[in-house]
């Protein structure tokens, strides 16, 4: 009997000794399940991210292809140099989009900036629509709704996205380097009435989206002079380009990596206007 009880006691002790092993197995099982769940979630996140990346890259490609097609339709290919008769077919452009008010290009660089300009009463319209009004993150280069479409305001503002693929106004970043400005100090705007307006860049700066650099109207010459002084004062480097109240300027504005509230601007003063073979300074 004592022997039997001894066996019972030993069995109970043996069971007690085995219990921790079952607990460890359960913990390992739970850990394995957790690892599987984490792996599944990670794979799901990867798949979603990959899909979004493909979608973004595909959107960039579609947008670039559309603008290349527009360039091939609108630009006179006989000679690409501004001084040798570069011209734009605005009848073709307006047939595609009646909101067309101009064309902007840099020569020789950054040559990627070579786009039509549109304008509406709503600055939001073309933020995510291409020139052909297709939904796309590239958007369209557009003139501020408050400006006159003839680019004769004292300060005309043109907006464009800073795209990761280098398109739209991304290449304005190059003007953070003074040596790049020295090699490429001009940009050109073409208008439906046959004008080619040459702008000499005199300021490049990082600003807040609420700064006075975005003013378009001025009460008098004194207020405008104060504005011009400010745009030169905030410049990253001194260009030495003279600007007076008799001049008009164009501000090119794009986003910056600094923050959502900051913008990068490149400002040019009208230096020359050409029309029908004639030159006006």
Please give the positions annotated as active site: 161, 255
Contact 89, 76 (CB under 8 A): yes
d(CA 60, CA 43): 26
73, two tokens: 């339709």
CA-to-CA dists, residue 233 to 5, 174, 179, angstroms: 99, 20, 19
Strand partners, 270: 199
- The residue assigned the tokens 């405008």 is 224
CA-to-CA dists, residue 38 to 26, 46, 49, 196, angstroms: 18, 12, 16, 60
d(CA 148, CA 101): 10
């Amino acid at each position: 009997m004592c022997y039997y009880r001894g066996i019972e006691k030993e069995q109970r002790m043996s069971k007690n000794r085995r219990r921790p092993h079952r607990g460890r197995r359960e913990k390992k099982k739970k850990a394995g399940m957790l690892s599987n769940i984490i792996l599944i979630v990670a794979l799901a996140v990867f798949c979603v991210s990959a899909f979004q990346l493909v979608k973004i890259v595909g959107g960039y490609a579609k947008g670039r292809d559309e603008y290349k097609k527009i360039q091939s339709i609108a630009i006179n290919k006989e000679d690409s140099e501004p001084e040798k008769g570069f011209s734009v077919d605005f009848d073709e452009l307006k047939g595609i989009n009646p909101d067309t008010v101009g064309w902007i290009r840099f020569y020789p660089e950054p040559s990627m900036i070579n786009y039509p300009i549109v304008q509406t009463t709503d600055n939001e319209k073309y933020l995510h629509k291409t020139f052909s009004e297709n939904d796309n993150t590239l958007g369209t280069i557009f003139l501020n709704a408050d400006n006159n479409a003839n680019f004769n305001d004292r300060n005309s503002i043109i907006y464009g996205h800073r795209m990761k693929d280098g398109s739209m106004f991304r290449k304005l970043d190059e003007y953070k380097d003074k040596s790049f400005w020295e090699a490429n100090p001009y940009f050109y705007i073409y208008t439906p009435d046959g004008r080619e307006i040459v702008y000499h860049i005199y300021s490049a700066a990082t600003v807040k989206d609420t700064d006075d650099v975005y003013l378009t109207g001025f009460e008098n010459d004194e207020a405008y002079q104060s504005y011009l002084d400010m745009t030169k004062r905030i410049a990253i480097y001194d260009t030495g380009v003279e600007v007076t109240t008799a001049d008009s300027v164009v501000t090119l504005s794009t986003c910056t990596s600094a923050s959502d509230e900051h913008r990068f601007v490149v400002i040019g003063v009208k230096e020359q206007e050409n029309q029908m073979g004639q030159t006006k300074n």
